[in-house]
Amino acid sequence: DQQVKQNSPSLSVQEGRISILNCDYTNSMFDYFLWYKKYPAEGPTFLISISSIKDKNEDGRFTVFLNKSAKHLSLHIVPSQPGDSAVYFCAASVSPSGTYKYIFGTGTRLKVLA
Amino acid sequence: DVKVTQSSRYLVKRTGEKVFLECVQDMDHENMFWYRQDPGLGLRLIYFSYDVKMKEKGDIPEGYSVSREKKERFSLILESASTNQTSMYLCASSLYGQSNYGYTFGSGTRLTVV
């Protein structure tokens, strides 16, 4: 039972345009959401997060939107750059005791074309 | 910078061997995690630990065990390696109670079981 879903395995975008990566979740108890970026042969690196009490968080070219009623999360990258080409994972946490345990989606491979 | 170091980048082991994957973090994090990454399945949690000698099963613990004798070190053990354990293994750590930065991951160990 996949609680966090990324339905697009891949996405290609022209350099300078907007990249929109989507994520859906099923558990309304999730209280924190993150996006990670992963290059081949490296571990994932943290990109941006959002708390369930917010609907938007922005950090430079990266913005995450949260729609709780739709249980939907999206990451916008504007403008997209070739160095953004990577696999992007969304993750959601449950925190029963302060140990935040993240459940990850299956990932979306973004290719930014020069 | 927090560093999470996994002892091997690549490992090749034979079916039936006992395999140890080592992970060390240098920032006094309470929480440590082992995930495996497989194409189309994303990152799946094997085990995690929130304190020395404490461990909890994740979503796919079968065939694995863990050891945390010291705070900085978290070992994943494949009791009798099988070909379906061929995967990328990722170790991560985090501070207790800190949600907004997620985990810090190591670079991963690509294990091939032949």
- Contacts with B, A 27-66, CB within 8 Å: 31-32, 34, 36, 41-46, 49, 51
Contact A98 B97 (CB under 8 A): yes
Q: Which residues of A touch B7 (CB under 8 A)?
A: none
Length of chain A: 114
Nearest CA distance, A35 vs chain B (angstrom): 9
pLDDT per residue as tens digits for the range B81-101: 999 999 999 999 988 666 566
All residue ranges of chain B with pLDDT < 70 are 1-2, 96-101
Pick from B49, B102, B92: nearest CA to A51: B102
Q: Residue A82: helix, strand or coil by DSSP?
A: helix
Q: Which residues pair with B35 in a beta bridge?
A: B45, B90
Over residues A66-89, mean pLDDT: 97
**Burial track B85-103 (b if 16+ CB lie within 10 A, e otherwise):** bbbbbbbbbbbeeebeebb
Distance from CA of B59 to the nearest CA of A (A): 9
Tens digits of residue pLDDT in A31-59: 889 999 999 888 999 999 999 999 999 99
Express each pLDDT in A83-102 by its tens digit.
999 999 999 987 655 566 78
**Beta-sheet pairing, B64-70 with B73-78:** antiparallel
| Minimal Cβ distance to A44: which of B98, B99, B105 | B105
pLDDT of residue A93: 86
Q: Which residues of A10-20 are buried (b: 16+ CB within 10 A; e: fewer)?
A: ebebeeeeebb
**pLDDT of the residue at A9:** 93
The single-letter code of the amino acid at A104 is: F
**Among B83, B103, B44, residue whose Cα is nearest residue A35:** B103
In chain B, residues with a C-beta closer than 8 Å to the C-beta of A36 are 102, 105
CB contacts, 8 Å: A4 with chain B: 42
